Structure 1
Amino acid sequence: MKTQLKKNGMVLAGALILIIPLTLIAVSVMQWAREDLKMIGAVTDRNSAEQTLTGIMQEVMVINNLAGTLSTMPASSSVTTGSDNVIPLLLRAEVTCKRRFNANSDTATKNCRYVDANNSTTFAKSNMGWLQMTLNIEQPLLSNSGG
C-alpha cells in the first residue's frame, strides 16, 4: 500500500513539472494574439481613413461646373463639396499642358490650369495616425485671341 501512495505522488510531481512550461506557452500565445489584434485594428483604422479621404477627394472631381470654377479661380481659393468639406484648391503657375492638346482653330490659344487639392485626416487611438492626400488636376483651356 505504501508503494502505491508513492507512485501517486510521483504522478502529481510529474504533472506539475509539465504544467509549468505549458502555462508559459499559453501566456506567450495570448500575448501574440493580443498584438495581432492591435495590428489588425490599426490597419482597419488606416484603411477606413483612406477610404474616407478618397471619397472626399472624389467629391471634388464631381463638383458641378468644376471646369468653370478652375478657369476663373484666383491664385488660391476653396471649393465646398456636397458633404460640407472645404478643400483648398491651390493654383500652380505652369503654362504648358502635360497632355498633347491640338486646337482646331488658328484663333484659339491653349492655356493650362494646374490645381492641387490637399486634404488630410487623423485616425487611430488619440489621433496618432495622420494621412494626407493630394489631388492634381490639369484643366486645358481654350481662349479666343481675337478674330
Structure 2
Amino acid sequence: MPKQGGGTHVEVCPPWCTTDHTSDTSNPTFLEDVWHQSDVTRTEIELTNDADAPVPWTVLDACLSVIPHSADPASRVPHVAVQFVEEVWTNPLDVNELGQLIDTVAAQLDNLRALQRKLAAARAEWSTAAKGVVA
C-alpha cells in the first residue's frame, strides 16, 4: 500500500480480518489509519427520548480489531471494543476485561429477568384488582 509521505508498505491481514482495504491500497495512507476488523456483531433496539417515536438504535456492536501502527499500545494488539449505543464505545478490551464486561452485562440481564417476573406479577395483580373496580 502507498504510504502518506511516500514509499510503500506491505500489510498482512490476520486470518479473521474482513475489512475491505481497497481505499488503503489505492490511496496514500498513514499507517496508523490501517485497521483490521472481523465482522461486527450487532443488534438493534427501539429507543425513544419520550419526545419522539421510537427508532431503532444499534446497541452492543462489537468486533475483533487491531490497529497495528496505533499510538495506543492497547490498540496495537488484537482487542474488542464494544459500542454500547451509537458513538459510545469502551476502550480496547483484552481477554480478561472483555470477560468482566460480559459478566457485568450478564448480571444486568439477570436483574432485567427478575424485573420481568415482578412485572408479570404486578400485571396479574393489576388485572385482578381492575376487575373489582366499579365505575
Same fold (TM over 0.5): no
With structure 2 as the length reference, what TM-score do the two structures score? 0.31
Between Structure 1 and Structure 2, which shows a larger proportion of strand residues? 1
With structure 1 as the length reference, what TM-score do the two structures score? 0.29
Larger radius of gyration: 1
Q: Which has the higher contact order (CA 8 A, sep 6+)?
A: 1
Between Structure 1 and Structure 2, which shows a larger proportion of helix residues? 1
